[in-house]
Amino acid sequence: MSTAREQPIFSTRAHVFQIDPATKRNWIPAGKHALTVSYFYDAARNVYRIISLGGAKAIINSTVTPNMTFTKTSQKFGQWADSRANTVYGLGFASEQHLTQFAEKFQEVKEAARLAREKSQDGGELTSPALGLTAHQVPPSPLVSANGPGDEKLFRSQSADAPGPAERERLKKMLSEGSVGEVQWEAEFFALQDSNNKLAGALREANAAAAQWRQQLEAQRAEAERLRQRVAELEAQAAAEPPAVSEKEGPSQSLEQLEALVQTKDQEIQTLRSQTSGSREAADTEREETQQKVQDLETRNAELEHQLRATERSLEEARVERERARAEVGRAAQLLDVRLFELSELREGLARLAEGAP
């Protein structure tokens, strides 16, 4: 597709979508980034087209007809149906103002197409877009009004500032390198985000394990305290004096029985003491192990938090660098659009001068 004979009359940037031909309901994005969408006027065929290029491929090549309608479906999204292409195009803009400007230009171009069709049916022939279009049909852009075709000095200035082949190649190279760099930064951003999610998950697991170990430690401490109280009760019971023997039972209570009872109580006390000592040592050992594990987890948590902060800093630096690259690419794209508009105006002025020359 060649646009050498066509004149750009309006350009903007938007995310381009096409309707899914299978479902007729879902949108299919044309790419990950916003593209330049332009209105062109074909003076040879007296038609208007909406064109958007993705590299060397025409993403949108829609001829505007009087029966087309551009519909705003949200504050930043609009669509129109192209029966010739048998599809529906959708555009997502950065702001509502850009959407409004595109919609107003669509109405103007649609009206101009209707008038052009009526004049063509009446036998009228438009030899030049400047002669065939009135001011309200295709209003000049700020660039055109600032460099009007009636001033030869301004045209000379435009020809002096027009970009040469070397500058155009340099701009194309900058745009290509900017797109590649942006893709690399986005890949790095997603990798850092995935690493950040993994670190956050590991941190949550470590905190859950630490909480579980703290609960086990508290349970062991409670059990040790219960055993201590039991030992104290038994010691108090053993230290108490034996009950007084009544006068009736005194002669029948022998000294051997009392000694045997005391020995039995002593054995019970020793058994309880050994059990308590063993449980206490096991509890202390387990408590020390648990404390060591808690300390290790806290150290690991601190390391993970440090890594997380470093990852966040790297992510922020990558985001700032990507924004800077996007700004540079945007400025280069704007400069290229300005140069293309100026070149188009220069071509039109030269054509008029050639027509007016004797």
Q: What is the mean pLDDT of residues 32-40?
A: 92
Q: What percent of the chain has pLDDT over 90?
A: 22
pLDDT tens digits for range 136-181:
333 333 333 323 333 333 233 333 334 456 655 665 565 555 444 4
Which residue has better confidence, 284 or 113? 113
Tokens of residue 322, six digits: 């990507």
Report the candidate in 212, 231, 213, 219 with the shortest Cα–Cα distance to residue 278.
Answer: 231
pLDDT at 170: 61
- Angle in degrees, CA 148, 154, 157, rounded to 5: 140
CA dihedral 110, 112, 117, 123 (to 10 degrees): 180
User: Which of 59-73, 82-96, 136-150, 287-301 has the least mean pLDDT?
Assistant: 136-150
Average pLDDT, the chain: 77
Give the type of residue at 318.
Answer: A
In whole angstroms, what is the distance from residue 97 CA to residue 101 CA?
6
pLDDT at 120: 77
Q: What is the mean pLDDT of residues 208-228?
A: 87
pLDDT at 254: 67
Total Cβ atoms within 10 A of residue 12 = 20
pLDDT tens digits for range 293-309:
888 888 988 888 888 88
In whole angstroms, what is the distance from residue 149 CA to residue 341 CA?
13
Give the type of residue at 55.
Answer: G
pLDDT at 125: 46
pLDDT at 39: 94
Give the type of residue at 145.
Answer: S
pLDDT at 168: 59
pLDDT at 189: 57
pLDDT at 148: 35
Tokens of residue 110, six digits: 């649609």
- In total, the chain counts a number of residues equal to 358
Q: What is the DSSP letter of 8?
A: E
Strand 87-92 versus strand 35-42 pairing type: unpaired
Q: What is the mean pLDDT of residues 177-197?
A: 57
Contact 339, 172 (CB under 8 A): no
CB-based contacts of 101, cutoff 8 Å, min separation 6: 10, 12
Structure pTM?
0.36
pLDDT band at 188 (very low <50, low <70, confident <90, very high): low
> Would you give the distance in Å from CA 337 to the centre of its chain?
28
Nearest 5°: phi and psi at 320? -65, -40
Helical H segments across the chain, by residue range: 96-121, 129-132, 142-146, 152-161, 165-239, 255-356
In whole angstroms, what is the distance from residue 5 CA to residue 45 CA?
10
pLDDT at 132: 38
Report the candidate in 29, 28, 335, 329 with the shortest Cα–Cα distance to residue 185.
Answer: 329
**What is each CA distance from 99 to 38, 105, 338, in whole angstroms?**
13, 10, 21
pLDDT tens digits for range 257-266:
777 888 888 8
Strand 27-29 versus strand 87-92 pairing type: unpaired
Q: What is the mean pLDDT of residues 101-120?
A: 91
Which residue has better confidence, 150 or 358? 358
Q: What percent of the chain has pLDDT over 70?
A: 73
In whole angstroms, what is the distance from residue 280 CA to residue 210 CA?
23
Residue 253 has pLDDT above 70, yes or no: no
Tokens of residue 171, six digits: 């701009």
